Structure 1
Amino acid sequence: MKISRRDALKISAATVAATALSACTKEEIKPPKKVQSPTSFLPFPKTASPRVVVVGGGWSGLSLAKQLKIEAPQAEVILVEQRFEFVSCPMSNLWLVDKIDLEFLTHDYLQGARENNYTYFQASVYGIDKEAKILKTTNGDIEYDYLALAPGIDYDYSFWTDDKVLENRLRNEYPAAFKSGSEHMTLREKILNFKGGNFIFTVPGGNYRCLPAPYERACMVADYFKSKGIKAKVILLDENNDITIKEHGFHTAMKELYSDYLEYVPNAKIEEIDLDKKVVTTEFDEFSFEDASFYPHVRGGKLLEMLGFAKDTIYNKMEANIDPFTYEVIGEENIFVSGDARPMGFSKSGNTSNTEAKYVARLIAGKINKGPKIQWETPVTVCISLVSIKPERGIFIHSEYAYNKKAGQFEFATPVTDEIWKGEHGEKNAAGAYDWAKAMYTDMFN
């Protein structure tokens, strides 16, 4: 009988299978050789130079990487950041109301690395081998001699709810927009397309990112609605008993400029948020809304918890477990944490993180250079908040910090405030905000 080509293939396949089964009965099947994980390779060969890996490309990480190359030019510095481009949170309130272009906030990580002679490495960190001094990232493992973490903040919704469905809806539908990127884009579209009614913003308790920013944002949005003739009201629910910083300037601006467009509500601790009915319930009242942006409490970046370097603090959950003077992780030599994840009560703001990171860079460089002990240096908080955009007017604060031994914490030292927003004086303050931002971007990227 003639066999077709199809039948021949069937017979051949059966023969191969039978042979394989026969082999299995005579000899134990050996497991396949272990294939090396694609993330276990080392993208940076070991060199004789000391290597410092900086994790996090925000204001602190960028400033730290640049300053390290100034203080210890012989060191190899690698900046690990999961984003592909930098978008500034400071000054973003002006972009939300269409006052500045996104280009003003956006900067090039590669440019910063080229200009300052360090390496930008796009990846996310997921683990660490402390004994071998290896940082595990999604694009390969990196050996280090010194490690500086600047993971910033994450949000903590546990003060409002333990319902993960509600939390995810708040994150996706009503983002806080105090972490750069998509959150700001969503909020901007909400504001620019708002048709009218109540728009709720919230101010959290604890030490949250950029103390004056929620008040500035409320003023910016109220000014925008007013200029467009939209029948709307901004309702600012503040968990604190008063405006937390530059209170005179903000209070007078809200009263004199936006009495019909902005309602400030202190002691507004939220007890329930019903997104279906669009109602927020506080200890004393209920507020309906057409749209909103809910800013919860903040905590230290979750990377610290993943790596085992976090603890609960008097201010927030899971902030860095570090020596407040040396920034070194408790029990871990040559691992440091800088920026908004710190446990000290410094302002979680750009200028603070920039100046603090330079001090941390000097600490690390001192170890590399085996130099004398570095004396503690205070971070510097400089913040100019706009209270109106037509015309642009602003208020100002400059402060350093001192350690209160009796209270066991850091406090503002000799703060200088300028809360006059009226007339030419306020307009000069506002112009200073742009000058400050340009100078800071240059400091980090050029």
Structure 2
Amino acid sequence: MSSASAWQPIAGGLTAPAGFLAAGITAGLKPSGNPDLSLLLAPEGAVCAGTFTLSRVRAACVDLCAERLAATGGHARAVLTNSGQANACTGERGLSDSLAATAALARRLELGEQEVLICSTGVIGVPIPIDILEAGLDPLVAALSSEGGAAAAQAILTTDLVAKEIALEAHLGGRRVRIGGMAKGSGMIHPAMATMLGYLSCDAGVPPREWQAMVRRAVDRSFNAITVDGDTSTNDTFLAFAAGEPLGPEHWEALEAGLTAVSQHLARAIARDGEGATCLIAVRVEGAADESGARAIARTVAGSSLVKCAVHGRDPNWGRIVAAAGRAGVAFDPQAVALWLGEHQLMAAGQPLAFDRPAASAYLKARAAGAYLVDDTVAIRLRVGDGPGSGSAWGCDLSDQYVRINADYTT
């Protein structure tokens, strides 16, 4: 049995792992009245790995999280998330509000302030209504539960159409190990670190340095391999907590396979929930010189506006796919290219093949026949040579609804 196949899906989301509590409530931060404040509480002794946006324009909460994890050597107990206000580009108030919120929560949880992290999501330039947030902390803490993962997943959403959560279980080292996760994101998706907001929990103990390395690799193969619109957020943050009985090094490879599986599930869910999208696009590249090169080609294809428009128009325009691959900045032999759209092979040895165009178009139409089908994935497979490198990326089609959603975002 492979490391990945050892993991099986279970219910419970972020709070499926032992000892983790979560909550999500409506505090009044959003005019819509939807849930808008969430909390994750990890067991004592938890380690935390974080990856953050590489944008130079970033919210104060991002820097605060990074600084606190550096100061504690990768330890944290709680993360508070407010939804509705990004609290980015808000001057000195951005940091003071983040500090006030985490201090107020630390007092209620009887934790040190350094152990409490904060994430914000919403409209850039809008500060947190800090009085409303602080008034919501008592009911938020009171709502903490080992079954609170679903409520927390709802409370972090903005333009998302669906909540995104998952939990997996495996038996490692003679005991049960669980990994849970939740994420949010629908637009402004082209991460250069992790995802818009994502959280992971695990009930196995791992040293901080090794945990950070595992999480970084899992992120590179998941959140850093998705795109919706080519835009990176000011608030991108991924936080992964691990707490529990130490797991021996001989099981770390299997544990990392679980981390990657959870992260890829959440990443695909974000891409599928892209604003205005009707289908998921999955690009698989094989035969590259190495994995990073294959992922770069795959992500370029998945992020191409022309490819995304062709998929939305149900047009099997293979030229747009290979043109995007050629500008990925990765060397390969154009005469070695082979291309498949689903089961339809469109190219071989760098040349187009005669194919059933109506059937290929029908394949694309079937992927978007209805929202969230069992199989609504447009599969693009590209072979660029005979090298050992392979990699995947995920995106979505580009529709007129994306333009309408973002044209009216703040109005």
TM-score (norm. length: structure 1)? 0.24
